[in-house]
């Protein structure tokens, strides 16, 4: 399964080369042109039946993780976070340091027997360390260097109903994009499929892609927070697992154009594909980069509800994943309708 392979591979922000190599291998024979830019974005291009519009689909390759900050005298590794990670979930989690050699370790924290006065104190990254079994810096010399990336060490599991693994945000978007490239031949309009870098540290790859392509319409594929959890009141829900793919109306820094929302909802309804609207504004996506590019663009976001996002193991519904495939393909096929009936520039 493509999503399982993508989840198992490592690609902390700024170190996406293994993800990019795998995706390139999967799609190179199915597109008209493929290239990589200076920040590491992967661009796949399919020539359309009509070149009057430029369409772009994007998912980001990177995942949250860590970086080696210091090697202590006792051989323990101090680390810094890359992207948003809650320190309180890290103790006892397995990680892999991606230096000249791949070295596995465990994130350590003071054992409960020694926490007599610390129970009410928050867990911070400064109190955590990575134990690789070394006793001194000399033991890892030439294997681990300051600045080496660190990823969660999690094996993806696929069942009949759920998929569990690391980096579902946004390897699920990458998997949907690979499937879309396989299914659509040829597209109605000139189309770029972009696998972007460094979303988790400031949408950096998508900003480059936005100015490079300057599309008329950009569709972003993402994982988003599912909050149907016992610890949250119903009024605080954002999305729910098993309720279908998510159409995002607004998030931090962006309100999606109403004509785009109407088109996405109409497409889902006409194809009898279940969907849900994201209920809260929390989070942000690469869509911001395209809405704010030099000439602006229509933007849309299709996201997959994901429990335990930005953690060592995320959780999605297989049914949601399959319905997302159907919806993404339907949207791609209906794009002539968007530019005919929903394009405000055409109507003015």
Active site residues: 199
Cα–Cα distance, 4 to 332 (Å, whole number)? 24
List residues bridging with 50 in a β-sheet: 189
Torsion angle of the four alpha carbons 291, 23, 14, 10, in this order, in degrees rounded to the nearest 10: 130
Q: CB neighbours of 224 closer than 8 A, spacing ≥ 6? A: 169, 238, 239, 246, 248, 278, 283, 303, 304, 305, 306, 309
Return the SS3 of 198: coil
What angle separates helix 17-27 from helix 168-183, to the nearest 10 degrees? 20
In eight-state DSSP terms, residue 22 is H
Of 289, 302, 290, residue with least CA distance to 331: 302
Residue 321 DSSP SS3: helix
Q: Are 173 and 222 in contact (CB under 8 A)?
A: yes
For the chain, the helix, strand and coil percentages under 3-state DSSP, each to the nearest 5 = 30, 30, 40
Direct distance between the N- and C-terminal alpha carbons of the chain, in angstroms, rounded to an integer: 46
DSSP annotation of 83 reads S
* Cis-peptide, bond into residue 39, ω within 30° of zero: no
What is the C-alpha separation between 42 and 47, in angstroms, rounded? 17
Q: How far apart are CA 10 and CA 12, in angstroms?
A: 6
């Amino acid at each position: 399964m493509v999503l399982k392979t993508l989840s198992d591979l490592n690609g902390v922000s700024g170190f996406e080369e293994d993800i990019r190599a795998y995706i390139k291998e999967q799609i190179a024979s199915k597109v008209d042109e493929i290239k990589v830019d200076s920040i590491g974005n992967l661009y796949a291009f399919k020539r359309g039946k009509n070149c009057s519009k430029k369409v772009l689909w994007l998912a980001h390759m990177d995942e949250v993780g860590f970086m080696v900050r210091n090697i202590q005298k006792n051989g323990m590794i101090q680390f810094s976070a890359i992207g948003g990670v809650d320190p309180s979930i890290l103790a006892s989690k397995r990680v892999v340091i991606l230096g000249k050699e791949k070295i596995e370790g465990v994130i350590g924290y003071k054992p409960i027997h020694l926490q007599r006065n610390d129970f009410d104190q928050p867990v911070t990254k400064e109190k955590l360390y990575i134990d690789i079994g070394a006793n001194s810096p000399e033991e890892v010399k030439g294997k681990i260097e300051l600045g080496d990336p660190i990823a969660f060490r999690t094996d993806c599991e696929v069942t009949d109903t759920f998929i569990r693994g690391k980096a579902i945000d946004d390897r699920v978007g990458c998997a949907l994009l690979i499937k879309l490239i396989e299914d659509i031949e040829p597209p109605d309009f000139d189309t770029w499929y972009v696998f972007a870098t460094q979303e988790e540290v400031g949408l950096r790859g998508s900003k480059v892609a936005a100015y490079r392509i300057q599309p008329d319409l950009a569709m972003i594929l993402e994982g988003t927070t599912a909050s149907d959890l016992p610890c949250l009141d119903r009024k605080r829900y954002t999305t729910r697992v098993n309720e279908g793919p998510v159409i995002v109306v607004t998030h931090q820094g962006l309100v999606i154009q109403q004509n785009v929302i109407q088109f996405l909802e109409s497409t889902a309804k006409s194809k009898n594909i279940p969907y849900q609207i994201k209920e809260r504004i929390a989070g942000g996506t690469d869509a911001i980069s395209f809405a704010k590019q030099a000439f602006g663009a229509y933007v849309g976001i299709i996201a997959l509800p994901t429990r335990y996002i930005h953690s060592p193991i995320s959780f999605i519904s297989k049914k949601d994943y399959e319905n997302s495939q159907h919806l993404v393909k339907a949207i791609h096929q209906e794009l002539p309708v968007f530019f005919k009936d929903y394009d405000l520039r055409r109507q003015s």
